[in-house]
Amino acid sequence: MSGGRAKVKSLLRGVSQDSFVFLWSAAFGITGKLLRPRARIDAPTGGQRVMVVAPHPDDEVAGCGGTIREHRRAGDAVTVVCVTDGRRSTAFGLGADEMAARRQQEARAAAGALDVDLEWLGLPEGEWRPEELVERLRGLFAEIRPDLVYAPSRIDFHFEHERVARALATALADGEPPWTVRVYAIQVPLTPVLTNVLVPVSDLETVERSLSCYRTQLGSLQCTLRPRRYAARLYGAVGPVEEFWELAPEEYRKLHLQPRKRPLVKTFRGLRYDAASDPMAYLQGLRERWWLARKARR
């Protein structure tokens, strides 16, 4: 059996990444014609204040960089809030302090490429207190008064992403804010089970340029471009689109303050560098996605 697996792996290594992307894109196109998933197309029209909560510097571009760009093209005011400093990355063998400094520089360059305001909280990754973040977020809500908040979620394999989502949910607990929350995917696809809003991406070149600003993380970020292509085929869109799960603040709060039954790493699987395994990111955790969808509708 092990010899058979080795032969399969060897065969897969001989197939180019582009070939797999082409294959999976075709598969998503066929799936879309069979299942006919539905989601509302919502291109920004201007006049909004937008806040993007990014657990790490780079999550904002990986998850909704194209939509951020569409908001700016429409004239919306956009503020990206980078919560942690990303110091736990071990790329290039950099020490924690040096990595944190590098990632702040990268975040500012990416914000410049996207033409957005950057609010660098820079909490030490893995070492911050939820109470501190809740207080900071409430202050930003009062200052920015956003109409729309793009948020991380519990549909993820990264513990830090979920911690930020839970703190955000706690920050929403005082009163009913007037804004809308849109969950964005960070390497773990929402899938049609949860997606209810699509935003067409007309300037993918700027997204790619802003991604390239994160040089220390570039190896793990390239895979985040592929879901935009898959979504286009799945929903029958003309060009790349980004997928979101739009929720009222009280729905987001209700879902993210509930205890988790299984560890994140055993529930979901993210997209990886190798495109050969992309379908697994969509299939693993479907049961959890259906559970969340049912909870949100109650």
Overall average pLDDT of the 72-95 stretch: 96
Q: What is the pLDDT of residue 1?
A: 47
pLDDT, tens digit (0-9, with 9 covering 90-100), for 3-62: 655 555 555 554 688 899 999 999 999 999 999 999 999 999 999 999 999 999 999 999
Tell whether 184 is covered by a domain: yes
Amino acid at 157: F
- Taking the model in full, what pTM does it have? 0.93
- Look at residue 59 and tell me if it is in a domain: yes
- Average predicted confidence (pLDDT) for the chain: 92
pLDDT in tens, 231-257: 999 999 999 999 999 999 999 999 998
The count of domains in the chain is 1
Decide if pLDDT at 2 tops 70: no
Tokens of 148: 């729309």
pLDDT given at position 268: 94
Q: Considering the domain boundaries, does residue 2 fall inside one?
A: no
Q: What is the CATH number of the domain that holds 142?
A: 3.40.50.10320
Residue-level pLDDT at 176? 60
Percent of the chain scored above 70 by pLDDT? Answer: 93
Residue 198: domain span? 39-297
For residue 20, tell me if it sits in a domain.
no
Question: Which residues, other chains included, contact 106 with Cβ-Cβ below 8 Å and sequence gap of 6+?
Answer: 57, 58, 213, 214, 215, 216, 217
DSSP 275: G
C-alpha dihedral over 246, 247, 253, 256, to 10 degrees? -40
Do residues 90 and 98 touch, judged by C-beta distance below 8 A?
no
27 inside domain: no
**Does residue 285 fall inside a structural domain?**
yes
Q: What is the pLDDT of residues 204-237, one digit of tens each?
A: 999 999 999 999 999 889 999 999 999 999 999 9
- 55 within some domain: yes
Give 196-212 as a DSSP string: -EEEE-S-HHHHHHHHH
- Distances from the Cα of 33 to the Cαs of 15, 120, 189, 244, 281, in angstroms? 27, 43, 19, 20, 21
Assess if residue 5 is contained within a domain.
no
Residue 15, token pair as written in the block: 């197939």
Parallel, antiparallel, or unpaired: how do β-strands 197-200 and 77-84 relate?
A: unpaired
Report yes or no: 203 and 66 within 8 Å, Cβ to Cβ.
Answer: yes
The residues near 156 (Cβ < 8 Å, ≥ 6 apart) are 162, 165, 186, 187, 188, 264, 268, 270
